[in-house]
Amino acid sequence: MIRRMIGFAAVLGLAAAVQPLCAQGFGMAKTTVTLERKLPALMVLPGNTIRVQVTGHADQADLAKDLGALLETELLKDDPQLRDDETSPAVTVTCQITDYSHPAPIVTRQPAMGSIPAQNLIRITGSLNVSFQAKAGDGRMLGSDNISVKYDQEFDSSGNNMSQGIMKTMTNPFHRLKGSSGTDDEQNKPPTDSELRSKLLDDAVQQMAEQIVNTTESIQVYLAKDKGAIEEGDKEAEAGLWERAMETFETAPELPKKEDDAYRLNNTGVAYEALGYQASDAKTALKFLDQAAIDYGKAIDAKSSEKYFLGPQKRIETAIAHYKKLEDEQNAPPPTVAVSTPPPPTPAALARSVPAADPPASAAHGLNNAQIVAMVKAGVDDATIAQTVRVARAVDFDLSLAAQNQLKADGVSTTVLHAMKERWAKELTSGK
């Protein structure tokens, strides 16, 4: 089920972080760009109250307690309209921890390589698997998934990350910015046992929250800095003019060395990524994000040794997968209404059976929200109400965001809302 009202935005904050040329990391000077990405939920919640329940093996009691607290906090933070209700919630999210593993670090000996002396490498691993499902108060399944989070990175004897930034990394590559702390130190230092546990929990919670409610992620990415067109495009990006920045980066002359031109391609990818987060619908977002993935891939091909080119490509792949689920659901045909015996009552018969409800003046112009709610409260099944919407002579629905929230609070199902939106769209295009 998909939340139809999609909000995408890119709030762009630039923190100047110019760094000199270096052998590893970013091969050009760079500036840090913070994008605010808003992902639409993959479920439609029928109300504003929620309860989170987490279970696990006997030795996972503390882990289950922490996962439940973190998930509940994240859901309430991302959706201010939600509130916790332990007695009669509109939605219950049930989680089962199926596996948690944090083996002892693996130590291997790396032989001397040129000027680099032999040293010990420490590989730290961990994984967390959680199955979850969200159900409405009436037992309807709203959505479910199996979440798998893994951590697998290697560090040298000085504590430097040797994993190239992405080949062995967290399942969810989006970095959630906290305060003003930088990402490099966090990713290049080996985590303690408690830090690794927190990383796994945070990532699992984020993956579940993205499906249940609208979420906001702060993503820190790099723009290469150079003279000429690159500098001009950076200034346009800093001003939030991402379409102009994209054109500037794309039309800039290719740098003579492909290893250098890789940074121009990276900047183009960032511009397309920002445009994707600004898109107002899933189809447009996918178009921009697909192009960002192509440019990030070209940058990697041109300079595979640049570890910071790898993260964005994985990040984009995750976002694209989310938006494709959204688009697939939006393009799915409406559910088939099975004709029962005896056949469903006619709209006229239904109208007679619906209790008087003081409908607004607009009711005379067609079937309206109040009448839909009255049918729901009268116990008419969803398939019959949806069929009534489709065959009504005229409709006069209010499908604003506030009205949709009220309809959901009054018990109107996703099936009926979908039928109302389809019929209202036809009403508008017909010019009635």
C-alpha distances in Å from residue 366, one per residue of 31, 157, 351, 375: 57, 74, 12, 15
Confidence (pLDDT) at 399: 84
Q: Is the pLDDT of residue 306 over 50?
A: yes
Q: For residues 311 and 10, give the distance between their C-alpha atoms in angstroms, rounded to a whole number.
A: 19
pTM: 0.60
Q: Which has the minimum average pLDDT: 167-171, 295-299, 348-352, 404-408?
A: 167-171
Q: Give the pLDDT confidence of 115-125 residue by residue, as tens digits.
A: 778 888 999 99
The two beta strands, 49-55 and 91-101, are: parallel
> Distance of CA 230 to CAs 16, 32, 204, 259, 289, Å?
15, 15, 38, 15, 21
Predicted local distance difference test score (pLDDT) of residue 10: 40
Q: Between residues 283 and 3, which one has the greater pLDDT? A: 283
Torsion (CA) 15, 16, 22, 27 in degrees, nearest 10: 70
- The average pLDDT across 60-65 equals 95
Lowest pLDDT segment from 136-145, 242-251, 394-403: 394-403
Structural contact between residues 160 and 188, judged by C-beta atoms closer than 8 angstroms = yes
Of the given ranges (66-70, 82-86, 124-128, 179-183), which has the lowest mean pLDDT?
A: 179-183
Confidence (pLDDT) at 426: 75
CA distances, 277 to each of 152, 195, 280 (Å): 29, 30, 8
Tell me which of 180-184, 263-267, 336-340, 352-356 is least confident: 180-184
pLDDT tens digits along 164-192: 433 333 333 333 333 333 344 455 688 99
Quote the DSSP letter at residue 165. Answer: T
How much is the pLDDT for 15?
37
Q: Residues near 159 by Cβ (< 8 Å), separated by ≥ 6?
A: 188, 189, 190
Quick one: what percent of the chain has pLDDT higher than 90?
A: 33
State residue 163's pLDDT score: 64
List of domains in the chain? 1-40+214-332 (1.25.40), 42-192 (3.30.160), 347-430 (no CATH)
Contact 46, 61 (CB under 8 A): no
What pLDDT was estimated at residue 400?
Answer: 80
d(CA 15, CA 179): 13
Per-residue DSSP letter, 113 = B
R_g of the chain computed on alpha carbons: 26
Query: Taking a C-beta distance cutoff of 8 angstroms, is the pair 151, 200 a contact?
Result: yes
Average pLDDT score over residue span 314-328: 77
User: Mean pLDDT for the chain?
Assistant: 78
Site of tokens 């504003």: 48
In this predicted structure, the answer to whether residue 432 has a pLDDT above a threshold of 50 is: no
The Cα–Cα gap between 198 and 126 comes to: 11
Highest mean pLDDT among 309-323, 333-347, 392-406: 392-406
User: 395: exposed, middle or buried (C-beta count within 10 Å: 0-12, 13-18, 19+)?
Assistant: buried
Average pLDDT of span 72-89: 94
pLDDT at 13: 41
| 251: pLDDT strictly greater than 70 | yes
- DSSP per residue, 218-283: EEEEEEE--STHHHHHHHHHHTT-HHHHHHHHHHSPPPSSHHHHHHHHHHHHHHHHHHHHH-SSHH
At residue 360 the predicted structure's pLDDT band, cuts being 50, 70 and 90, is very low
Residue 316 has pLDDT above 90, yes or no: no
Q: What is the mean pLDDT of residues 243-269?
A: 91
Q: How confident is the model at residue 46 (pLDDT cuts 50, 70, 90)?
A: very high
Compute how many other C-beta atoms are within 10 angstroms of the C-beta atom of residue 15: 11
